[in-house]
Amino acid sequence: MKTTDAAPVDDLTTLLPDWRRHLRALNRSPATIKSYLTCGESFVAFLTEQGMPRAANAIAREHVEAYMVALSERVSAATVAKHYRSLQQLFRWLVEDGEISRTPFERMSAPAVPEQAGAHPG
């Protein structure tokens, strides 16, 4: 097994392609898969930039919250909520897959999305 430049097996960069395969096996729409993976890749980039752990079992609530705060400084509340829900699905899968025993989302609440005047669901 070659380990020179490869990320460890529990590194999110290694796990995201497995998650993609899982989502495809569930017959999720290509748009959903793309959205989920974009959120996952954005989270990994944030962890890397901040020097935070990328190993699935080392990621804690504080890392997710730091990401949500940083994200909220540059995108809408609805986009932050979308990232939250996508990452929540990623970590749920990591638990189901046996990669981690507990999700950092366990006692977290989704970020609030204020109603916008004149907005309609869609």
C-alpha span between 59 and 90 (Å, rounded) = 12
Is pTM beyond 0.95 here? no
- Structure letter (DSSP) for residue 108: -
Compute the CA torsion angle 40, 46, 50, 54 (nearest 10 deg). 10
pLDDT, position 16: 96
Domain locations in the chain as residue ranges: 12-96
Q: How much is the CA Rg of the chain, to the nearest whole Å?
A: 15
Instruction: Look at residue 68 and give its three-state secondary structure.
Output: helix
pLDDT, position 119: 52
pLDDT over 70 (residue 117): no
Confidence of residue 3 (pLDDT cuts 50, 70, 90): very low
The residues facing 55 across adjacent strands are 11
Each residue of 63-88: pLDDT tens digit? 999 999 999 999 999 999 999 999 99
For the domain covering 12-96, report its CATH number.
1.10.150.130
C-alpha span between 23 and 31 (Å, rounded) = 11
Kindly state the tokens that stand for 76: 């809408």
C-alpha span between 59 and 94 (Å, rounded) = 12
Quick check: 88 and 80 in contact, CB under 8 A?
Answer: no
Each residue of 90-102: pLDDT tens digit? 999 999 999 999 9
Each residue of 6-45: pLDDT tens digit? 667 789 999 999 999 999 999 999 999 999 999 999 999 9
C-alpha span between 61 and 120 (Å, rounded) = 32
